[in-house]
Each structure stands twice: as C-alpha cells, then as structure tokens.
Amino acid sequence: MSHAPYDELVAGYALGALDGEDRERFDAHLAAGCGTCSRAILEYQETLAQAAAELAEAPPARVRTALLARLEPAVRPVPSRRPAATALRWAAGLALAAGITAWLTSATLRTRYQAQLQAMADEAATLRTQLAESTSLIARVRTELAEVQSRLTEQDRVLTMVRAETAEQARTLTLLQDPTTRIVTLAGLGPSPGAQGRMLWNPTRGGFLVAAALQPLPAGKVYELWAIAGKKPPVPAGVFTVDADGRGTLGVARLEAVPEPEVFAVTLEREGGALAPTGPMVLASKKA
Amino acid sequence: MATDGLALIRRMATGDREALAAFYDAYASLAFGLARRILGDPDEAAEVVQDVFWELWRAAPLYDPARGTPEAWITVRARSRAIDKVRSSRRRDEMLGTPLSEATTSSPDAEADSPGSRVEERELVHGALRELPDNQRAVIELAYLGGLTQSEISTRLAQPLGTVKTRMRLGMERLREVLGARG
C-alpha cells in the first residue's frame, strides 16, 4: 500500500486530532513500526513545543510550593536530646513527641507507599507497552527471518542442481575426449518399445547412461542398470529415476568385475535396487 | 545560559528533590502558558501544571532522550492533561460557541481586560502561528489548543474533511519552517 495517505495524517496525529478510521489506520501503521512516521511525529512534537514556548507565562508561586510539599518528606536528622527541667516536663514532652512521631510516621508511610505504588503502577504500564512493542517487533523479525531462510534453501537447491549438472557435463566431456570410450546404443523392449538409451563406456573411467522415452515409474520402483559379460551373472551398475518425459541419466563408476561389459540392460526394480535382475527388462544393448 | 534539562531529569530519576525544583523553575512557565491558553482559567492551569510536574517527577527514570527533548516531553503531557480537563469539565461546549482565539485568550482576570494586555496576549498567542495563512492557523489552533478532532473541525468550519487534513499538514510544515528558521 502507498505511504501517501499516512503522510497526510502525520500532522493530525501530532496535533492529537485524528479520529474514527483515520485514527485506527494510523495507530495500526505506527504499531507496524513505520520509522518515517515515528520520526515525523517526534519532529512535529518539537515544533509544537517550540510554538508553545512562545506562550510561556510564569505560574502563581503557590504551585511550586504545593508541588514540593507533595514530595516524599525528606529524612529528618534525629534531634539531639536536651536535658529537661523536670521529669514531668520530660514525660509530657516524650508523650507529645511519641504522638507526633506516630502521626508523622503513619502519614509519611502512607504518602511514601502511595507514591511508590503509583510509580510502580506507572512503570508497569510503560513496561507492558514496551513489551507489546517488542513482541510485535520480534514477530516481524521472525517472519522476515523465515522468508530469508526459505529463499536461501531454494537458492541452495538450485545451486546443488547446477553443480550436479555441471559435474555431469564435465564427466561426459572427459569420457568423450578419451579415444577408448565407446558409445553403446540401447533399444526399448517389452513395456516400452519406444524407449532409447545411449551408454558412453570407458573401461578405466566408467560410463554415463542417457535414457529417453521410458515409462513413468510406478511408486516405489526404480530403473536399474546391469552390466553383462560372458557367462557371469549381470552386475548391478546403479539405479536411476526418470522425469515426466521418461528421461533419466546415470553416472557409472568403473566396474572392477566387468571392466568391458558386452551388454548393458535396464530393468524395473524395487526402490533401492536389487543384486540380481527380477523385474521386466525395458532397455538392452546388442551384444558387442 | 541554557538549562541542561536532561541532566536535571537524570538527577530527578535518582530522587534528587533539588533537581525537581530547578527543573520546575526552568520549565513551569512553558507548561503553564500552554495550559492557560488551552483552559483559559489560570486556577485550572495551575492545577494542571502541578499534576504534570508531579507526573514528570515520577516518570523521570523512564525518560528517553531519543523520544524527544525535555521541552517536548513536558508540552506533550501538559497539552494532554489540559485537554483532558477541558473535556471532563465540558468547557468545550461553551468554547464551541465563541471563536477559539477569543475563547483561549480571554481571561477572567479584570486586568486582562485592559486593551493593552489583550493586544499583548494576542501577540503571544499567535507568535509563530501568526506567520501562517489564517485557514491553516485556524485548524492547528482548534486541534492543538481547542482539543477538537479533525472531523469536529470539519463540522465546525463547514469544510470538507480532506481540506482540514491538508491544511493541518501544510500548517504544520509551515510552522516547522518558521520555527526552524528562527532557531
């Protein structure tokens, strides 16, 4: 929302003249922590204080007297005891002093505690306001922090993807630059006759499989690549998934058991893969 | 010599009564002048001043210089207490019947009726405000010294609410310029 409506209301707020909806909207705006408006209000309050200074007029002297009398009585020095002329006078004096002391004490205590209670109540009210302000500030900061964190997480995710793609491309390039790398074509079988695959294979570096037009994977299933040579059982070479277009890739490390496979094949297996093929074969190369 | 209001408030916060006395001597006329202009009656203004300084004495530990000068601290409270009093004693209804500048400057004191003091008072009242266009000065006086809200001013002056808001803003900007140029 534009800030312009609030610019129009700042002066009215400083003059204590907002009412109705304007008052509510502006209070909410300030509670949301608008620094521009808070500063403008403080500035206008200074302006009004300066304007008020031109009205200055000395108050009647009794106001000062009454104000200072209202303060908590100061601690009085203990009067030094004087020798009394007679025991009677001393006793009468003592009784009178006791009476005055009792009266003074109760009045003093009352005044002091009332003042202290009032001061504490005022302070509690101020602290409550400050607490409410702090709470709203903390809530705002939390929201902003959550947004920043979610943006960072998204950026991390994108970065990871870009890194993975870059590593994949570098690996493919390395494979292609090596004259001992061969390209093996895989063709679709059974459930996905239109599927295609290309395997870049290097006996010392391993390889990289690109598959296309495979069937989307059912839940809990993956595609698994197998390397086959001679009469040995197929060696598992990794699992992969496919995107909505049936595309998938798989980097394969060098296989100690079958450095130069004669056949590559892909089967549908349970998530996590199997040690020997169990599901239907979807892609296979011709025997080299 | 400028009074160091902040130092006095700091001392007041520690319970220093002499600091309150000095603070009062420095600023009581600021509060009294404003309260009197709002209330008209000097006795009521005197009550407001006593209450305000009593409040400031107790609130001294909470004073935050970042939230305004001591002058603003005092005038915001004095104005607010005086307006409360105006409203609670329903004097506003009486004041609505007469132009505000007269209502706020008229005094029950006999001596204030002498032509010279009346003129002098007007000068004082209008000080920096006098340099504002009449329509801007009127809305600021009605709000700040009369305690009227912008809707009430709109009704009172038979002007659209939007016009009142704009005049308040322009008036306050002008007032800030005028006072800023002075010092």
Asked if B112 has any chain A CB less than 8 Å from its own CB, the reply is no
Q: Which residues contact A11 (CB under 8 A, 6 or more apart)?
A: A44, B165, B168, B169, B171, B172, B173
**CATH for B13:** 1.10.1740.10
Per-residue pLDDT tens digits for A110-130: 666 777 777 777 788 788 878
pLDDT of residue B21: 95
Low-confidence ranges of chain B (pLDDT < 50): 1, 91-92, 99-125
Residue A226 near residue A261, CB atoms below 8 Å: no
Give the CATH number, domain containing residue B154. Answer: 1.10.10.10
Domain spans of chain A? 182-285
CATH of domain A182-285: 2.60.40
Residue A274 region by backbone torsions, left for phi larger than 0, else alpha for psi between -120 and 50, else beta: beta
Give residue for tokens 């005028």: B178
Last residue of a domain, one of B35, B68, B89: B89
Report, as an integer, the average pLDDT of A151-170: 83
Predicted confidence at residue B7, as pLDDT, reads 94
Q: Are residues B104 and B139 in the same domain?
A: yes
Query: B16 and B73: one domain?
Result: yes
Write the residue in A15, A55, A62 that is nearest to B33 by C-beta.
A55
Q: Are residues B19 and B66 in the same domain?
A: yes
Range of the domain at B23: 1-89
- Over range A130-157, report the average pLDDT: 83
d(Cα A198, Cα A206) in Å, to the nearest integer?
Answer: 14
Residues B80 and B103 in one domain: no
Q: Which residue of B has its CA nearest to A122?
A: B59
pLDDT at A78: 43
What pLDDT is stored for residue B9 in this prediction?
Answer: 94
Same structural domain, B105 and B77: no
Query: Which residues in chain A have their CB less than 8 angstroms from residue B87's CB?
Result: none
C-alpha–C-alpha distance, residues B142 and A14, integer Å: 13
* Pick from A125, A64, A49, A129: nearest CA to B52: A64
Q: What percent of chain A has pLDDT over 70?
A: 85
Contact residues on chain B for A112, CB-CB shorter than 8 A: none
In this predicted structure, the answer to whether residue A2 has a pLDDT above a threshold of 80 is no
The reply to whether B77 and B113 lie within a common domain is no
Determine, for residues B62 and A71 on separate chains, whether the beta-carbon distance falls below 8 Å: no
Mutant choice from A48, A114, A116 vs B, greatest count of B C-beta within 10 A: A48
Q: How far apart are the first and last CA of chain A?
A: 69
Q: Judge if B80 and B124 occupy the same domain.
A: no
**Nearest-CA distance B69 → chain A (Å):** 7
Put simply, the answer to whether A59 touches B45 (Cβ < 8 Å) is: yes
CA gap A79, A269 in Å, rounded: 103
Sign for the CA dihedral angle at A252, A257, A261, A263 comes to: negative
Indicate the residue among B68, B89, B110 that finishes a domain.
Answer: B89
User: Do residues B75 and B118 share a domain?
Assistant: no
Please name the residues between 29 and 48 in chain B that touch chain A, using a CB distance below 8 Å.
29-34, 36-37, 42, 45-46
* B17 lies within 8 A of chain A by CB: yes
Mutate to test the interface with A, among B75, B85, B152 (most CBs of A within 10 A): B75
Q: Write out the two tokens for A93.
A: 């004096």
Instruction: State how many domains chain B has.
Output: 2
* Residues A145-158, mean pLDDT to the nearest whole number: 85
| Statement: residue A204 has pLDDT above 60 | yes
User: Are B113 and B63 in a shared domain?
Assistant: no
| The pLDDT of residue A244 is above 90 | no
